[in-house]
Structure 1
Amino acid sequence: MNHLLFDCCKQMLHLRLDHCDTGDCSVWKINAPHSNLRVLEVYLSKLKKAEVLCLPKLERVRWQAWLFYEAPLCFGSVPSLKELSLICDASLIHQDFSLSQVLDGATNIHTLTLNFRGEKIWMQPEGKQLCTAFNKLRKLTIHGIFIKFDLLWTLNLIEAAPSVKTFDVEMFEHPCQEGDEARIRCFGAQRVEPSWKLSRFTSCHKWQLKEFQFGGFRPLLEQHFLFVSTVMGRAPDLKTVLLTDGQYPCNGCDTRIPIPPPVGGFFPTYRDAQEAIAKQLRERARSSAQIIFRSGSTYPSRATRSYIY
């Protein structure tokens, strides 16, 4: 596999593998110092793990869904790697792994995307262990957090990356999955709450956060109010808070009749409700950041509406 991909394809710039493996569920060791590969994408691979020992021009990695129960990746010499996306709806038997160990050797990342697709949080609790890997991080995206999960654990990641300018969080709510027998067999009847606690570790540097995006905001969930106001209160340079309905209904959700109301109530669409929420958030956080409510963007048939406060 290495011979075909790297010895025979030295000018290859973009590699995408779908449902691919070497036939023996082995560790894939990539050592290609002369490769020109810039982008590596792997989807639903049966490889046990990929050890990227040397890919000097690699800039972007996207790894979606891993079937084994350990960290899917580790890095050696990847000096050009700037963007990493890890996406997986891990089952209950997937082991949590250390993100800092995955990123050891990849210290130039400026954009990191983590997506849990509504299931368990597959990272071990960490704080200052991530400081080295997060040294140059500018954008942190955390999507697919189940709608009922606590959110304050994500602040451990921001504390380890005070230079982040954009923080993007999105909740996950799909009514069609509730009571779905296939999901329950694979993931369990109850989703596993994050075991993370808000660490006592506090960075010696103030947050440089400029933009905070929160998708799936629900006004009746106290943890949402607490999370948004806490981020606003800890980011003195924050300019913009973008609150959206943030849900992307699938075909299964669209066919459920009657459609169940969302957990925590509907996203506020009327201006008087939005004004009251914006006022309450500012009072809690003592922040002057601009607050934008955006609704309708997840439904192609509806016009997007944005109000600024």
Structure 2
Amino acid sequence: MKFNRGRRHRRNSKAEVGSGGMLSKLPGDIQACNWDRLSELPADVLLNILERVGTLDVVRTCILSKQMQKLPAMLSQIVIDLSPRDLFQKSDVVADVTNKILSKRPPHITIRKLKLKFVLSPSRCLSIGKSVGLAMTTQKFDAAEFEIMTPLDFHLCTDAYCLLFAKQFNNFVHDCPDAFAGLTRLHLRNMRFGESDIPNILSNCKRLESLSFFMCGVGIGSVLHVEHTQLVELVMSYCVFKTVDLSSLPKLQRMTFGDWPCDENPLVLGFVPQLSKISLANPNFSGKTHNLSKLLANAPTVNDLFLEFRSEKIWVQPECPRVLAPVLARLRFVNLDHLPEECDISWTMFLLEAAPSVEDLCIIVWDHKCRKKSHESYSKKTEVKWEASDPDFKHKNLARLTIYGFQSDGNFTRYVRRVIQAAVNIRKVSLHDRKACQLCAEKFPHAEVRPSGYPRTSKEMDSSRKKMAAASAAACPDIHFCS
């Protein structure tokens, strides 16, 4: 096979401008081929290759060949998802490429996925919205997603800026109704809305399946009522509301709710008949605890529960299994994150007693410095009042126990032994050392680190296994030390 070396050199030099060129991202066997041979492949094969890289890389690549210049408009997936730094530098490019690709598309080709991340700028947003809205009216979209960044990061956003960004976004929705009517996913951040704004957004986004808010809200005394017929996923982090009331979400399956500012009825679950996975996280600076039986009262369908104890403060109140059992009857997976290392983890047994269907329990213990609000004592910070579990309690479905931050002390060995005693069919126990927190290392580089008690040698591991299995009447499960 003969190569046109000069022509190949010129094309490769163009394609490799910058570090984001497509050639560096193609499989090795294609990189080894002559570029002309690549452009001569059938269109369906080329499209299959091109859809494995970002859309901006595809556009840059296809400029190099006349035969390939029509391909960007034939993509079934259009994904522009740049890093924040690149996004601010190329915000004009995002709008221009979106318009060119969508305006030249054959109407019979379905867009399986449209994902656009862009900066909230009135002129550029309007260009993107009009392009997407026009395409929505003439073509079929399986999924369409907007992730909207604000010109300022959250730590620089004053209330005035958040109000301004919310106003600009509301204008965007008003000016581009067709685009928002067809959206299936929407991510917003750093916005302070009026009381009717979020309900209006939801009413305009009729196909919306996933909605994410970060650092958004209405006000510390506000109640957000959420109603939508299609919403499947709702994510709310660091949002300012007194209460979030999920009034009617018949298709909601996944809910993430973190860092609520008010402790009085922060979450009310209304009509959520399909809710199966819920994640709750709270720094608990006030010290108030919550009963899961009340928080999850109308969600007996939950089978996956994630609880995060930010600032290493326990905000869940252990409850009587008889009270909690009706709520957790279908629970199968439990993850408890950021438990403080000094806290006796035996209190978590109340979840197993109340949830007979749990198959997998994961506990992650930390010794953070970066999450401490003050130098308050551990005893004040981690105090949990609980009653010892029934010594005759048996659990028939728990198969796996995983602990991160395991130490060879009585706190952990007693707990593992108690779980093994209760879980008569447990098959595997996985024990990991502490997770490393990069933020702690950066903020407190000279802070003294508590020595790890994680077993390192075979002798230490065997000794720990004997302590954990000594009182078990049943056959001991596999206990793995995963260093």
Cα distance between partner residues in 2 of 1:113 and 1:84: 6
Partner of 2:479: 291
Secondary structure of 1:251's aligned partner: helix
Q: Are 2:318 and 2:348, in contact at CA under 8 Å, matched by a contact in 1?
A: no
Measured after TM superposition, the shift of residue 103 of structure 1 is: 0.6
Partner of 1:278: 465
Secondary structure of 1:274's aligned partner: helix
Partner of 1:18: 214
Q: Are 2:220 and 2:262, in contact at CA under 8 Å, matched by a contact in 1?
A: no
Cα deviation code 1:187-245 (max 9, x no counterpart): 77741311122255977x733100000111011x2111111110011101000000001
For residue 266 of structure 2, the aligned residue among 52, 59, 72 is 72
Which amino acid is the alignment partner of residue 196 of structure 1? W
Are positions 1:62 and 2:256 aligned together? yes
Change (3 A) 1:235 1:81: same
Which amino acid is the alignment partner of residue 74 of structure 1? V
Q: Are 1:117 and 1:172, in contact at CA under 8 Å, matched by a contact in 2?
A: no
For residue 308 of structure 2, the aligned residue among 92, 99, 115 is 115
Cα distance between partner residues in 1 of 2:259 and 2:428: 33
Cα distance between partner residues in 2 of 1:29 and 1:63: 14
Change (3 A) 1:168 1:267: same
Change (3 A) 1:200 1:233: closer
Partner of 1:207: 396
Partner of 1:251: 439
Are positions 1:242 and 2:430 aligned together? yes
Cα distance between partner residues in 2 of 1:202 and 1:11: 51
Partner of 2:282: 88
Measured after TM superposition, the shift of residue 80 of structure 1 is: 1.0
TM-score, normalised relative to structure 2: 0.55
CA RMSD of aligned residues (A): 2.3
Cα distance between partner residues in 2 of 1:56 and 1:236: 37
Partner of 2:381: 191
Larger deviation, residues 249-258 vs 155-164: 249-258
Cα deviation code 1:56-76 (max 9, x no counterpart): 110100111111122421211
Question: Percent identity over the alignment?
Answer: 25
Cα distance between partner residues in 2 of 1:88 and 1:8: 31
Which amino acid is the alignment partner of residue 298 of structure 2? G
Secondary structure of 1:154's aligned partner: helix
Partner of 1:299: none
Structure 1 segments (4+ residues) deviating >3 Å = 187-190, 199-203, 254-259
Q: Are 2:324 and 2:354, in contact at CA under 8 Å, matched by a contact in 1?
A: yes
5+ residue gaps, structure 2, are: 1-196
Measured after TM superposition, the shift of residue 24 of structure 1 is: 5.8
Which amino acid is the alignment partner of residue 262 of structure 1? R
TM-score, normalised relative to structure 1: 0.84
Secondary structure of 1:191's aligned partner: helix
Change (3 A) 1:206 1:251: closer
Cα distance between partner residues in 2 of 1:176 and 1:46: 23
Are positions 1:6 and 2:202 aligned together? yes
Higher strand share: 1
Change (3 A) 1:254 1:281: farther
Partner of 2:453: 266
Which amino acid is the alignment partner of residue 267 of structure 1? Y
Cα distance between partner residues in 1 of 2:431 and 2:259: 28
Measured after TM superposition, the shift of residue 288 of structure 1 is: 1.7
Alignment of 1:294-309 (within 5 A): 294-295=482-483
Q: Are 1:137 and 1:163, in contact at CA under 8 Å, matched by a contact in 2?
A: yes
Measured after TM superposition, the shift of residue 176 of structure 1 is: 5.1
5+ residue gaps, structure 1, are: 296-309
Partner of 2:234: 40
| Larger RCO: 1 or 2 (CA < 8 Å, sep 6+) | 1
Partner of 2:158: none
Which amino acid is the alignment partner of residue 279 of structure 2? S
Higher helix share: 2
Partner of 2:226: 30
Secondary structure of 1:61's aligned partner: strand
Change (3 A) 1:266 1:188: closer
Larger Rg: 2
